[in-house]
Each structure stands twice: as C-alpha cells, then as structure tokens.
Amino acid sequence: MNDSPNPYRDLPSVDRLLADPRVSALAADRGHAAVAVVAREVLEGYRAAIAAAGALPHVTVVDAVLKRAETLRPSLRRVVNATGVIIHTNLGRAPLSRSAIEAIERVSTGYSNLEFDLDAGERGTRFSHLETTLCRITGAEAGIAVNNNASALLLSLAALCRDREVIISRGQLVEIGGGFRIPDVLRQSGATLVEVGTTNRTYASDYAEAITERTAAILRVHSSNFRVVGFTEQPSLSGLASLARERGLLLLDDLGSGAVLDTRAYGLAPEPLVQDSVRAGADVVLFSGDKLLGGPQAGIAAGRAKAIESMRRHPLARAVRIDKASIAALTATLDHYAKGDAEHEVPVWRMIALPFAAIEARAGRWADGCGAHAAVETCESTVGGGSLPGEALTSAACVITPPSGAETFAAALRAADPPIVARIHEDRVWLDPRTVDPSEDAHVLATLNGLLKASGDGR
C-alpha cells in the first residue's frame, strides 16, 4: 500500500478559490465569470506541474490566480507621460482637449446625424460635419478627413493620379515611423513615381524638364521628421504652383505635421502652415490630425473643391473613412482654432506654451517631496511626433538618483496604476512636468514617495 501524500488533494476547488477574500474582491472588480476562468487555468497549470514534478509549486494558488488575473486588465491603458516629449507616438500622440472628449461623449452615448441631413430628412454625408470649420481656418474651398495622413496621401494619389506620373524631388522620398515610405505609397496608389533633382538640391527646372503628357501632378513632401542643412536647394511652393498651373497639373503638398499656429511665436523653428500652403496655390494640402493640430488620429486633405470631390467619390474613401467619434473630436479641435483659444485649450499647444518658471516650480515640489535622492535640473523638452526635428524647449525635471538603479526604478514607475513613463539618462530617472497634466501631480508624487520609501531610499 502506497502511503505517500497525494499532492492533488492539496489543490483547492474553484469554489474555494473564489471564496478567498482577495480573489472574491478581484471577482467583484473584474467579473466573476472571468476570474473563474482564470482560476481554472491556474489549477490546470498546477495539475500539470504536479504531474511533471510530483509536488505542488512553491507559489500559493491564490497568489498565482491574482498574478494571472492581471491579464484581465485592458491592454490599452492611460499612462502618465513624464518624458517631456509632447507628441509621443508610442504614448498615443496628442492628448485631446476637454471639448473634444465631450464631443465624443455626445455622439457616442446615443444616435447621431452622422450620415443624415436633418434639414432635408434624407441621407447625408459624414464628410460635411467638419468641412465648414476646416475651410474657415485654412482658406480652402473644401476638405475631407480619413483615418490617417498616410491614407489621405494614398487616397489623393489613387483618385487624382492613378495610371499617370507624379513628380517628386529625390530629397523628399521620405520614410516615416514603421517603415512607411513615400515610394511605396505611390506604387500602391497606381501612380508612377518620377524622381527629379538630387538628395540635397532640386530646382524648378528639374520639375519642368520631367513633365510629359502622362504627368498628373507635382508632389511636395515636407521632411517633418528630419532636416537637411548646408548645400541645399528646393523651389518655393508658390513657384511649383505657378509651374503646375502653366502646365495644367495638380500640386499636392504633404505637410505631415499639420501646423495651424506659427511655431516661431514659441521660440521654435518655422513649420509650414496649412493655410500658407493653400494660399500658395496647392490643389490639395495633406496633414495629420494628431500631431501639431492636437486632435484625434486623422488624415486631412484641404484644397480645391474639384480635387477634394474626386477624393470623396473614390471607392477607397470608404475603406479609409473615420468614425463618428473621430469626426466629433476633430471638429471640436478645429473649433478651438476658429475661436482663437487653441493655445489654452488644445493640450499640445498648452504644453508648448508653458513658461519655464511654472514647470520648474512643479518639478521643485516633486523633488521636495522625495527627499535626498531627488533634485531639480534644467533639461530639454521636444515636440516629437515627427515634428520640428532638432528643436527643443527649455524645461525642468525632477531627477531621481535611486540606489536601486535607474532601470529598476523606472520599471517600478511603469508598474504604477496608472503607469508613469519617464526618461533615463546617466543612470538617473528624469520626470519632466511639461508633459504631465497638473491633475496628475498628486499621483506622480505619491508614487515617487512610495517607491523610495519601499526601497529604503526615502527620507
């Protein structure tokens, strides 16, 4: 007779696990059915471990359930951006204004007239809702928004240039994040790429000499995420517009970042303005909604009515269209520019405009609350998001020198709820208040305090 203990008998039942106070509290928060599934998965794992090793793992079953239940949390979460990068692509780019968030709520909690003409009582178009404000701001005759700027460029080329040639300077054959390349978009659209000039110098005559009977358009692409300096030359947009009009061509201008406010007023290098491109004669101006515009992800095309109408009617327009929530948020964002309060209401511009003294004072309060291992140091914030490369804003940071090491401390910050994302430089953790909403200050300070005290680093 075998008298050895049976380790399987030490496993609790699912009901016993769910009755544990910690698991029960978790089930109340995450859902009884979901936690029950997790409990069964953990028990199955323990049975497999017993079968392999003949004994229970050292970790208690309840602790294993609590740890595994972390997967029940939504993967996409709000985070605190303490990096000092304002338009942080990895952290969701531009945060929305309060008005934009309220606009999303209004159209999402019930029905809306997304594609319904209330005056006529018949089907309408979703593209009409933001067009009036967009045209008022940019001076364009018409406008359309799709799901991102890559889609806007693809749609414009497919609708206006398919099976024909598009001329572009070699210095503008850019690649943006994720391996997205302008030549690849041209191929997908059905247009034929014609390169002119050199990497650093292209003249108006280069464009003129490349025009044939198959040419449909001249495409200018703003190098928004890099800068070529030194021995360079590019014709002005107005010069290209004159050439395009003389030769019966379209002029497409891909600005990328979508600036509507003058960046020079904030001590930054000049960024081409959408309204200037429209005024210079571009037939279609393309730009992003979630970069310097400070709205939701979108690709916006503004320009001449005939060209925009061709884009609206193209079959691809339906495949890349944006939803009602994005339209509502984008319209609310555009309204800030129309009303002249974007600097105060659009978070991207509010962060850009923040005075150094205000940032330094907040960094000082964080450092004062963290004891001997914290200090305030001057640093640089960047705009980010493929905008204004090489440009920086003078800022101040709360700098933590944890004995446990910067990597360990930064990882602990990211494990907070909500997570705090900071920078590491010279084995220290830098937290820049410029990109942290003041409403998040208490959470940042409490988290810093808690981590320092837990590691014995607090005062």
For residue 346, give both structure tokens: 């659009």
Same domain, 295 and 179: yes
Same domain, 294 and 159: yes
Q: What is the mean pLDDT of residues 186-203?
A: 88
pLDDT value at position 83?
98
How far from 264 is each of 100, 268, 274, 388, 391, CA to CA, in Å? Answer: 26, 5, 15, 11, 11
| pLDDT exceeds cutoff 90 at 225 | no
User: How sure is the predictor about 224, in pLDDT bands with cuts at 50, 70 and 90?
Assistant: low
**What is the reported pTM?**
0.87
| pLDDT exceeds cutoff 70 at 362 | yes
Q: What is the mean pLDDT of residues 390-417?
A: 94
Eight-state DSSP code of residue 284 = E
Q: Is residue 221 a contact partner of residue 174, using CB atoms and an 8 Å limit?
A: yes
Same domain, 306 and 325: yes
Residues 6+ apart with CB under 8 A from 20: 62
User: How sure is the predictor about 4, in pLDDT bands with cuts at 50, 70 and 90?
Assistant: low
> Which run of H or E residues covers position 420?
strand 420-421
The 10s digit of each residue's pLDDT in 301-328 is 999 999 999 999 999 999 999 999 999 9
CATH code of the domain covering residue 145: 3.40.640.10
Eight-state DSSP code of residue 92 = T
pLDDT value at position 272?
93
Amino acid making up residue 73: R
Residue 1 lies in a domain: no
φ and ψ of 116, to 5 deg? -140, 125
Residue 123 lies in a domain: yes
For residue 453, give both structure tokens: 């005290």
How far from 94 is each of 115, 122, 351, 387, CA to CA, in Å? Answer: 27, 35, 11, 12
Considering the chain, what is the average pLDDT of its residues? 91
> Which run of H or E residues covers position 184?
helix 182-189
Same domain, 137 and 225: yes
Q: What is the mean pLDDT of residues 177-188?
A: 76
| pLDDT exceeds cutoff 80 at 59 | no
Q: What is the mean pLDDT of residues 192-200?
A: 89
| pLDDT exceeds cutoff 60 at 1 | no
Same domain, 340 and 359: no
Same domain, 235 and 191: yes
Q: In what order do the strands lie in the sheet with 142-146?
A: 142-146, 299-303, 284-288, 250-256, 215-221, 165-169, 192-196
For residue 372, give both structure tokens: 């001997």
Same domain, 252 and 394: no
What DSSP string runs through 298-363? -EEEEE-HHHHHHHHHSTHHHHTB--HHHHHHHHHHHHHHHHT-HHHHSHHHHHHH--HHHHHHHH
SS3 10: helix
| Cα–Cα distance measured from residue 113 to residue 450, given in angstroms and rounded to the nearest whole number | 49
Same domain, 410 and 432: yes
| pLDDT exceeds cutoff 60 at 262 | yes
User: How sure is the predictor about 162, in pLDDT bands with cuts at 50, 70 and 90?
Assistant: very high
pLDDT value at position 29?
85
Between 298 and 72, residue with greater pLDDT: 298
Residue 432 lies in a domain: yes
pLDDT value at position 183?
82
User: How sure is the predictor about 171, in pLDDT bands with cuts at 50, 70 and 90?
Assistant: confident
Peptide bond before 418: cis, by omega within 30 degrees of 0? yes
Same domain, 341 and 354: no
E strands in 70-153: 80-81, 85-87, 116-117, 122-123, 142-146
How far from 421 is each of 26, 221, 246, 415, 439, CA to CA, in Å? Answer: 26, 32, 53, 9, 16
| Cα–Cα distance measured from residue 235 to residue 247, given in angstroms and rounded to the nearest whole number | 16
**Number of separate helices (H) and strands (E) present in the chain:** 19, 18
Eight-state DSSP code of residue 421 = E
Residue 407 lies in a domain: yes
CATH code of the domain covering residue 417: 3.90.1150.180
Q: What is the mean pLDDT of residues 182-196?
A: 88
Q: Nearest Cα to 251, choosing from 279, 293, 290, 230?
A: 279
pLDDT value at position 233?
81
Residue 30 lies in a domain: yes
Residue 2 lies in a domain: no
Q: How many domains does the chain have?
A: 3
Domain boundary among 326, 345, 364: 345
The 10s digit of each residue's pLDDT in 95-150 is 999 999 999 999 999 999 999 999 999 999 998 999 999 999 999 999 999 999 99
Same domain, 278 and 180: yes
φ and ψ of 115, to 5 deg? -130, 50
Q: Nearest Cα to 89, choosing from 318, 267, 257?
A: 257
Q: What is the mean pLDDT of residues 432-453?
A: 95
Same domain, 398 and 428: yes
| Cα–Cα distance measured from residue 47 to residue 8, given in angstroms and rounded to the nearest whole number | 7
Residue 459 lies in a domain: no
Per DSSP, what are the bridge partners of residue 394?
380
pLDDT value at position 56?
67
Which residues constitute the domain of residue 428? 80-88+350-454
Place of tokens 């001076």: 139
| pLDDT exceeds cutoff 70 at 458 | no
pLDDT value at position 402?
92
Q: Is residue 245 a contact partner of residue 197, using CB atoms and an 8 Å limit?
A: no
Place of tokens 């749609």: 155
| pLDDT exceeds cutoff 60 at 459 | no
Q: Is 74 left (phi over 0), alpha (psi -120 to 50) or beta?
A: beta
User: Could you tell me what percent of the chain has a pLDDT over 70?
Assistant: 94
Domain boundary among 327, 345, 363: 345
Same domain, 446 and 333: no
Eight-state DSSP code of residue 292 = T
| pLDDT exceeds cutoff 90 at 185 | no
Among 48-57, 174-183, 362-371, 415-424, the minimum mean pLDDT is found in: 174-183
| Cα–Cα distance measured from residue 76 to residue 173, given in angstroms and rounded to the nearest whole number | 33
Domain boundary among 291, 313, 345: 345
Q: What is the mean pLDDT of residues 223-239?
A: 76
